[in-house]
Amino acid sequence: MLLSLAAGPLALALFITNPPAAAAQAESDTSTSRRTRLALGPQIVPSFPGADGISIRPLVDVARARGDEPFAFEAPDESFGPSLVRTGGLRFGPALGFEGKRSRDNTNGMLPKVGFTFELGGFVQYQLTPKLRLRTEVRQGIGGHKGLIGTVGADYVTRDADRWLFSIGPRVTLANGRYNRAFFGIDRATAMTTTLPAFRADGGLQAVGVTAGLIRQINARWGIYSYAKYDRLVADPGRSPVVRAFGARNQLSGGIALSYTFGGSVRKKAAP
């Protein structure tokens, strides 16, 4: 199970409460036992949507596979959530995410704070070809910004079984008016008490960007997981006085983690 940018604690909790029991018996039956890959490391992400500063957060990746089957591809920026329905190349499931808070200190006390937000929603993805996957997800904020946010993306994936995997693809982020006004809007009351102009951020397109990921095995057990992500704020978020005064239109994220594979065995021969 790969995680969203801020879903590390949830993925790690799932791993702890449901440990890789197959590790103890994998060596005796690698054709049917399960393998679990756990990656831990740091990542940098924008402190909040539109921020010009970054925060360091844990990067956690948990992936599972049976026998010698390669670990299934999951993009590094998709939300946490298993596939509950599978039919052909089509999959459905829940999407769980988090969004960091914005404090008054981040805006020199001029704008109201936006609390830490838990986001709950779902995803749909389709494997168009062995190397091309399409995915969309929508999440509703519970607390915090209380808005609706969604992403649409595609990933081109090339790999040699589990020896290495590289992915890259475009992203489009959309949000409703409530979400955009929470982070990018300025109401009239705030404008009257600050030097900032009133600005109503409507819903629609929020950002366009690209995400790339690289996984590389060092040996049969140890490996490296890394990713980089770039988003450019557009439309009302990109025009917001909040971004001009306290943030940046260019949003960068990235991380690197050391991985360890429990159970089974990693194939030593290159895939044909």
Q: What is the pLDDT of residues 234-255, one digit of tens each?
A: 999 999 999 999 999 999 999 9
| Residue 272 pLDDT level (bands cut at 50, 70, 90) | very low
Rounded to whole angstroms, how far apart are CA atoms 93 and 85? Answer: 7
Is the pLDDT reported for residue 113 higher than 90?
Answer: yes
Q: Determine the distance from the C-alpha atom of residue 118 to the mean position of all C-alpha atoms in its chain, rounded to a whole number.
A: 14
Rounded to whole angstroms, how far apart are CA atoms 159 and 215? Answer: 9
| Residue 32 pLDDT level (bands cut at 50, 70, 90) | low
Is the pLDDT reported for residue 180 higher than 60?
Answer: yes
| Average pLDDT value for residue range 149-177 | 98
**Predicted model pTM:** 0.83
- What are the backbone dihedrals phi and psi of residue 74, each rounded to the nearest 5 degrees, phi first? -140, 130
Helix (H) or strand (E) holding 104: none
Rounded to the nearest integer, the mean pLDDT of the chain is 88
pLDDT in tens, 191-211: 999 999 999 999 999 999 999
Could you tell me which CATH number the domain at 8-262 has?
A: 2.40.160
**Exposure class string for 215-233: b at 16+ Cβ within 10 A, else e:** bebeeeeebbbbbbbbbeb
Residue among 165, 131, 215, 162 at smallest CA distance from 30: 162
Counting residues of the chain whose pLDDT is more than 70, the rounded percentage is 85
Is the pLDDT reported for residue 16 higher than 90?
Answer: no
Q: CA of 238: how far to CAs of 4, 122, 207, in Å?
A: 23, 27, 8
* Confidence at residue 14, expressed as pLDDT on a 0 to 100 scale: 45
Contacts of 138 (CB under 8 A, 6+ apart): 95, 121, 122, 123, 148, 149, 150
| Average pLDDT value for residue range 125-150 | 97
Is the pLDDT reported for residue 9 higher than 90?
Answer: no
pLDDT in tens, 64-104: 999 889 999 999 999 999 999 999 899 999 999 999 999 99
Is the pLDDT reported for residue 184 higher than 90?
Answer: yes
Q: CA of 54: how far to CAs of 50, 123, 226, in Å?
A: 10, 27, 18
Contacts of 112 (CB under 8 A, 6+ apart): 104, 190
- What are the backbone dihedrals phi and psi of residue 66, each rounded to the nearest 5 degrees, phi first? -105, 135
Helix (H, G, I), strand (E, B) or coil at 41: strand
- What are the backbone dihedrals phi and psi of residue 139, each rounded to the nearest 5 degrees, phi first? -135, 140
| Average pLDDT value for residue range 14-28 | 42
